[in-house]
Structure 1
Amino acid sequence: MPIARYRLLLDKLAAEIRSGRCAPGSRLPTHRQFAAEQGVALVTASRVYAELKAMGLISGETGRGSFVRASALPRGQGIDQHASAAGMLDLNFNYPALPGQAELLRTALRQLASSGDLDALLRYQPHGGLLHERACVARHLAARGLTVSGEQVLIVDGAQHGLTICAMALLRPGDIVAVDALSYPGFKVLAEALHLELAPIPVRTDGPDLAALAKLCQQRPLRAIYAMPTLHNPLGWVLDQAQRTALVAIARRHALLIIEDAAYAFLAEDPPAPLAALAPECTVYVSGLSKSVATGLRVGFVAAPRKWIGRLERAIRATTWNTPGVMTALACAWLEDGTVARLEAEKRADAQARQAIAAQVLGHLPCTSHPSSYFIWVALPDEARADRVVQALLAQGISLASAEPFATGAQIPQALRVALGSLARDALGGVLESVRAVIDAQRYP
């Protein structure tokens, strides 16, 4: 039987299980029944079932048959199902830290304790942050090519919170948002919670298919576009000036709100100006310090046109009321004294070193990445299945993500997103060799 037919059956049944069309606990046809229904040989039906079991999607019970597992995704496969067991080697999340950062925090806390009005930090803060703190962030953004006033900046509890208040304040349930066909899982979760419809834009290696976006605008009543023009997660692209200009022209032509996610933008050296600088009247810029400094420092920022500031402040009030005063004071001190800029430069160099390790180990595989990013997209060879690779690696104590959490459309590629920023650098190569070995073992003769 041709390989293509086998793969088609496997992917179809796996998709039905993941989508819930095959409910958890439901009994599947016997191997013989499945073979007869699909018009294939018994050995082919058995092979499909064996693969589904290896993916963790079904279980077999002697004498009773095959059943859909209660959990469609094996623990650790999705970004939101992080395997947190002790000793798990994490290629799933990025929380890059540099030697000495704990001492930086210790020193900063001492300085904070010995200066200023500590009582003020224990009180409610203005919803968008104190004006001098907002001005501090505005100066930081100016170094990234975005000139805004402090009054246009709002301080939030991390970039994810920034995305949340943007969607809450500026979108309504049922609105359609254009988004890359492979995109940040956190925005998918947000869209589901707020009942937003995502319209996927086909992706290429160098960016979204803008011709397809223009056509989509003619076919659907889009309200907004969610974009990561500088260091896209998970594909690592940095859009050039021409691409940014074309994207902005489409947004203006169709009156689209642009939500620009710049969480990883600090890793790109000398990128073109942000979309918010090209289209300041219709763009909300969202970023934070979780990746450039530390994930525990939940300080983010939103820059927006003045006309939307009031609505965004109300969304902050409805969610967290205000940013914690102590964390914001600490973050602004590091922005002002150059600590953040130094950490960003050091992390760019660290990411480059990790990319070199990944290229050496995984270089025989089709990989997509940016030379300064903390992740790499690995397209699997023909016959290799992402679910099975993830399951096999979990058995070895290695957690990473398949393409599924990143896919915004019906088509889910057989691929992996490998996060490079959480393991110790001297351990990274050995763990990636384990990943390579599992992928190579999935190739069928």
Structure 2
Amino acid sequence: MNKILPLVDPSRNTSESELIDFGRNFPPPCPIVNGRLEATLSAIVETDVATAIRFPRFLGSERDRLAGVKWLSRRLGAPPSLETTILTNGSQSALIMLMAKHVGPSEILLTESLTYPAIKPLAKLLGIQLRGVSIDHDGIDPDDLLRVCRQEGRKARALYCMPTIHNPTSLITSPERRAAIAQIARDTDLQVFEDDIYGVLPEIAPPPLSTYAPERSWYIQGLSKSLAAQLRIAYVVGPSGEALSEVFWPSVRTTNWMVAPIVAEIATRWLETSTCEELLSTVRQETAERRRLATEILHLAPSTGHPSSYHLWLQVPPGMTLNKLILRCRDHGVSIGSGNDFEVDFDSSPERFRVGLGVPSNRAVLTRGLEVVGNLTQ
């Protein structure tokens, strides 16, 4: 490639808004969102918007949950019951409530050794300890999970995991491995918090881990990372209606885990119609095209990451450190995701970085950013 890289003026600090953003991870922009959003808001106004959004929906109205369980059935195999399904203000809001209920201060939440970065500050906020479990090409290593559970004993209370399009590696855990993990959770009395936020992106994927141990699993599927960043909402399926109420209901007056009524109304209308299917199809198509560009510009092997994932987990080139690469990318107007952000135990700093392909507003911007990364890593 050997192009001359555009160097950002070193005499001033580059603002985040000026950077081509590969550091965050959102689905690529969908051209139909604006039109669908305008039409939906107009329809809500015509049917009395004040009434529709006047009161909190708490666990979600019956109509909200009916639309939600129908959508969730594409992953769970059958619609979950209404009494075991609720709406929340995104996956993080659901997770903080689950962590607060099931993992006490100084107790342990297990995660993959590389995990969703928000888990670390959430655990710190609640005084919870984290322990990373080794992962390989097939996700969590069951032998290491059992070892950690035996080592920590009753202090290990729950497992947070992302078996489908894992962040940051994009791996998908096999059904056999999911069954093994579920059995260990049973044997060691772990609660399972399964984050399936990317789960609908592949055309075909194994059943959620939660289906292997439903009596102790909390299945979470948000829409903001699979359909549109504007849909800040997540559906949670718990072991029972009583268990859900124990986690979420006591805090309706003291926390903000509940979905905003206007967002619930939009999501429900989109789930009731073909809009969510259209969004998903568009995200899949644009992801494929952005991955094609990345593979071509970065000279990646076709097997790099899962083809349904819009993030890449890449190795820092020989002769360069992770920190140096991050700084050089920033000097040339590009931000990338540091591998350190995903580490749990910091035993060995991964010389890897994540490239999120979804945030750039169009393919031209994406291409410029990829060319910078390509020139710095080849």
Instruction: Give the TM-score normalised by the residue count of structure 2.
Output: 0.89
Cα distance in structure 1, aligned partners of 2:251 and 2:289 = 40
Contact 1:267 1:373 in 2 (8 A): yes
Indicate the structure whose relative CO is greater, using CA pairs within 8 Å and at least 6 residues apart: 2
Give, in angstroms, the shift of residue 294 of structure 1.
Answer: 2.4
After superposition, where does 1:392-403 map in structure 2 within 5 Å? 392-403=328-339
Aligned to 1:279: 213
SS of the residue corresponding to residue 17 of structure 2 reads: coil
Instruction: Encode CA deviations 1:30-70: one digit per residue, 9 max, x unaligned.
Output: xxxxxxxxxxxxxxxxxxxxxxxxxxxxxxxxxxxxxxxxx
Q: Which residue of 1 aligns with 2:162?
A: 228
Alignment of 1:204-283 (within 5 A): 204-221=136-153, 222-283=156-217
Q: Out of 309, 312, 324, which is 2:244 matched to?
A: 309
Q: How much is the aligned-residue C-alpha RMSD, in angstroms?
A: 1.9
Q: Are 2:371 and 1:439 aligned?
A: no
User: Is 1:376–2:312 an aligned residue pair?
Assistant: yes
User: How far, CA to CA, are the matches of 1:366 and 1:341 in structure 2?
Assistant: 27
Look up the SS of the partner of 2:375 in the other structure. helix
CA displacement at 1:371 relative to structure 2: 0.6
- Contact 2:59-2:87 within 8 A present in 1 as well: yes
Q: Find the partner of 2:222 among 288, 293, 296.
A: 288
Aligned residue pairs total 358
Give unmatched runs, 5+ long, in structure 1: 1-74, 76-82, 441-445
Task: Tell me the equivalent position of 2:277.
Answer: 341
Q: Quote the offset at 1:408 in angstroms.
A: 0.6
Aligned mates of 2:317, 2:302 — CA distance in 1: 8
Deviation at 1:403, TM superposition (A): 0.4
Q: Compare 166-175 and 261-270 and name the one that shifted more.
A: 166-175
CA change 1:226–1:84 in 2 (3 A) is farther
CA-CA distance at 1:317 after TM superposition = 4.0
What TM-score results when the alignment is normalised by the length of structure 1? 0.76
1:4-403 matches, within 5 Å, as 85-95=16-26, 96-115=28-47, 117-146=48-77, 147-221=79-153, 222-306=156-240, 307-311=242-246, 312-320=248-256, 322-363=258-299, 368-403=304-339
Q: Which amino acid aligns with 2:296?
A: Q
Letter of the aligned partner of 1:308 in structure 2?
A
Conserved 8 A contact 1:124-1:322: no
Is the 1:154–1:301 Cα contact (8 Å) retained in structure 2? Answer: yes
Alpha-carbon separation, structure 1, partners of 2:130 and 2:51: 42
Q: For the pair shown, which has the larger CA radius of gyration, 1 or 2?
A: 1
Structure 1 residue 94: deviation in Å?
2.3
Q: Please say if residues 174 and 197 of structure 1, whose CA atoms lie closer than 8 Å, have aligned partners that are also in contact.
A: yes
SS at structure 2 position matched to 1:263: coil
Cα shift at 1:365: 7.8
Cα-to-partner distance string for 1:272-331 (whole Å, 9 max, x where unaligned):
111222211000011211122322322212110223111222245431163221110111
Per the alignment, in what secondary structure is the counterpart of residue 135 of structure 1?
Answer: helix
Aligned residues of 1:202 and 1:208 also touching (Cα < 8 A):
yes
2:348 paired with 1:417: no
Q: Shift of residue 226 of structure 1?
A: 0.7
Change (3 A) 1:393 1:350: same
Q: CA deviation at 1:356?
A: 1.7
